[in-house]
């Protein structure tokens, strides 16, 4: 195994002499490799990819494994990264294998243990502040890709929109209610067999529909899944059945060791389906030839869902890989193939991934229930992903599944999403897993449906205010996104990242910087909207009061359902931010 300190190759003796580490050991036993070391002065440990159950990962076991887990993800993740950082040290295990990390606080510092199969992977230590650590890690990866500017506007989506008439009506409602949007996602558009052909009876003229949406300033994203579906009992689809036979005959699918097609196991999503092998150039050509007409029609990108379909080590791939590595690597092979096929002016919106996913933006944090405990978990996931090198994220405003969120939860998450890389509302199918608990005939999380459901026009007014604020913020977001890509820094920055020498900032888990200039202090729990806020060193302009506050300082503020804590750092160059409605209106 190769060891590196700040990218330079070194030996074990060199590592053992570093003052940033102590009690270093490296052992092989029973077919497993174990690496242990202590970080003497670590204030916390963050990263490991998208992690829901905590922001600071201290005291937790982190499994480096892609896992599909519908709602309440807990310790599982769709997008693991075998990288972590503290306020002064970072570590990257260059592996595609499933492995575990455990950290615990001892009298000597933060003790870290990594266990993995014996292999010839690279180990990288990085010292310095978090910016330097993350830059070192990202220098080993493909550079992040900057999405087109329209991707940073508000998004609208609902799985219920399963025909052309409904989509056009919902787009018209957005205009009628003056709720701006730049992206519209359609999930239930296809024949539910090939997933590349429109259901012709429900979509009589998709090209004309796309032209109408484009005239309204809406870019269209269509849902995709990497599977050759096993048809439901009684379902007949001659084109899909021919596709499956052709894929088998030409060895375009993932296989078992005996060469037979691998099928997704019983009890899993799309059970019985075959998995396309994106390591095979012939599969990529075959797959995207069938979807080429969608791009020619004007489709602006794909929602590349799923990808967590490799459940056994024994499966085989065209490039010689097997399931030991492709449990983690398969989602990235899938999104990379799509990214290459669609070109740089279109986007992806993916759920799963691995190291290098910053090169195939954008992502979202999977599916959550419309309940309060999910909201802080979304923030944990987004911030840990951000310091793991994945800069562009979104979540489903108010949650995806179950009964409609309360008006309070919906509006708090709507305001939070305004200051998030991707701002999207979306909802599960009416016949979804939690549909038995739903009394609503329409479960859309659109502002107008929420207002109608609660008979409360103030919901529309607040959503209109923050959707327009998002549009006001676009020049800032685009500028900061470009800075993030160029410099290898997060768009959402935890306080420890920007203020590693500030012990109080390092302990804050419910605030963050959106770009370099805006500090966001959201309300994440049900109640009266009161919270404590910490402002680090610097001068800060408070939204809603025009008051200039000098940090470090603690504040206590109460925010009603039309407000969120936003503070402008005054020592940056984004002077136009002072003219935003946030900072010119006094509440």
Residues serving a catalytic function are 305, 308, 367
Contact 71, 401 (CB under 8 A): yes
DSSP 276: B
Helices (H), 343-456: 374-386, 407-418, 447-454
164-176 and 206-215 are packed helices; what angle lies between their axes, rounded to 10 degrees?
Answer: 10
Question: Per the structure block, which two tokens stand in for 560?
Answer: 């009603």
Per-residue CA distances from 135 to 42, 85, 389, 396, 462 (Å) = 19, 11, 9, 30, 39
Helices (H), 387-456: 407-418, 447-454
Contact 77, 49 (CB under 8 A): yes
* Contacts for 11-17: CB closer than 8 Å, 24+ residues apart: 15/125
CA dist 557 and 414 (Å) reads 19
DSSP helix/strand/coil, 533? strand
Contact 198, 220 (CB under 8 A): no
The residue to which tokens 């492709």 are assigned: 326
Per-residue CA distances from 50 to 47, 116, 464 (Å) = 7, 20, 30
Question: Per the structure block, which two tokens stand in for 253?
Answer: 């699918």
CA dist 323 and 308 (Å) reads 12
Question: To the nearest 10°, the Cα dihedral for 235, 236, 242, 247?
Answer: 0
CA dist 248 and 251 (Å) reads 5
Question: Per the structure block, which two tokens stand in for 22?
Answer: 């102590």
Strands 393-396 and 422-425: parallel
Contact 142, 178 (CB under 8 A): no
Question: Per the structure block, which two tokens stand in for 482?
Answer: 């470009």
Torsion sign over Cα 263, 265, 271, 276: negative
Question: Per the structure block, which two tokens stand in for 91?
Answer: 């570590």
HSE value, Cβ hemisphere, 13 Å, CA-based, for 439: 2
CA dist 274 and 269 (Å) reads 12
CA dist 411 and 450 (Å) reads 10
The residue to which tokens 């078992």 are assigned: 256
């Amino acid at each position: 195994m190769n060891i590196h300190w700040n990218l330079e190759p070194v030996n074990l003796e060199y590592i053992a002499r570093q003052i940033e580490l102590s009690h270093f050991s490296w052992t092989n036993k029973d077919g497993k490799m174990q690496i242990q070391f202590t970080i003497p002065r670590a204030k916390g440990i963050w990263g490991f990819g998208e992690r829901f159950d905590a922001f600071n990962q201290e005291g937790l076991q982190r499994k480096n494994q892609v896992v599909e887990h519908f709602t309440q993800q807990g310790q599982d993740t769709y997008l693991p990264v075998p990288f972590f950082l503290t306020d002064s040290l970072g570590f990257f295990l260059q592996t595609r294998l499933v492995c575990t990390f455990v950290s615990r606080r001892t009298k000597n510092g933060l003790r870290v243990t990594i266990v993995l199969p014996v292999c010839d992977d690279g180990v990288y230590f990085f010292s310095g502040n978090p910016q330097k650590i993350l830059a070192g890690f990202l220098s080993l990866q493909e550079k992040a890709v900057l999405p087109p500017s329209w991707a940073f506007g508000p998004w609208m989506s609902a799985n219920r929109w399963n025909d052309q008439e409904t989509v056009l009506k919902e787009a018209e409602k957005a205009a009628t209610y003056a709720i701006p949007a730049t992206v519209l996602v359609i999930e239930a558009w296809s024949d539910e067999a090939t997933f590349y052909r429109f259901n012709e009876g429900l979509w009589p003229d998709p090209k004309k529909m796309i032209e109408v949406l484009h005239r309204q300033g809406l870019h269209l994203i269509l849902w995709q899944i990497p599977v050759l579906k096993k048809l439901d009992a009684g379902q007949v689809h001659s084109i899909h059945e021919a596709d499956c036979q052709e894929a088998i005959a030409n060895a375009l699918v993932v296989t078992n060791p005996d060469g037979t097609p691998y099928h997704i196991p019983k009890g899993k999503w799309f059970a019985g389906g075959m998995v396309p092998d994106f390591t095979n150039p012939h599969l990529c050509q075959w797959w995207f030839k069938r979807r080429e007409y969608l791009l020619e029609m004007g489709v602006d990108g794909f929602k590349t869902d799923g990808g967590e379909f490799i459940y056994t080590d024994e499966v085989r791939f065209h490039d010689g890989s097997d399931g030991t590595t492709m449990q983690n690597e398969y989602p990235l092979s899938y999104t990379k193939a799509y990214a290459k096929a669609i070109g740089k002016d279109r986007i992806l919106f993916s759920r799963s991934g691995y190291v290098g996913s910053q090169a195939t933006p954008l992502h979202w944090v999977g599916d959550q229930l419309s309940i309060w405990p999910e909201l802080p978990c979304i923030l944990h996931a987004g911030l840990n992903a951000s310091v793991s090198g994945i800069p562009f994220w979104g979540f489903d405003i108010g949650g995806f599944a179950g009964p409609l969120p309360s008006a309070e939860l919906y509006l708090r998450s709507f305001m939070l999403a305004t200051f998030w890389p991707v701002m999207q509302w979306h909802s599960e199918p009416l016949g979804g897993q939690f549909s038995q608990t739903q009394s609503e005939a329409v479960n859309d999380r659109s502002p107008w449906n929420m207002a109608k459901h609660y008979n409360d026009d103030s919901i529309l007014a607040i959503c209109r205010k923050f959707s327009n604020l998002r549009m006001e913020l676009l020049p800032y977001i685009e500028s900061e996104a470009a800075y993030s890509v160029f410099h290898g820094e997060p768009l959402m920055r935890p306080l420890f990242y920007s203020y590693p020498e500030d012990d109080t900032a390092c302990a804050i888990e419910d605030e963050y910087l959106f770009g370099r200039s805006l500090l966001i202090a959201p309300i994440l729990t049900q109640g009266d909207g009161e919270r404590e806020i910490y402002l680090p060193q610097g001068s800060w302009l408070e939204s809603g009061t025009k008051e200039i506050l000098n940090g470090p300082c603690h504040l206590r503020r109460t925010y009603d359902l039309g407000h969120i804590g936003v503070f402008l750092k005054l020592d940056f160059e984004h002077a136009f931010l002072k003219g935003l409605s946030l900072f010119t209106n006094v509440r």
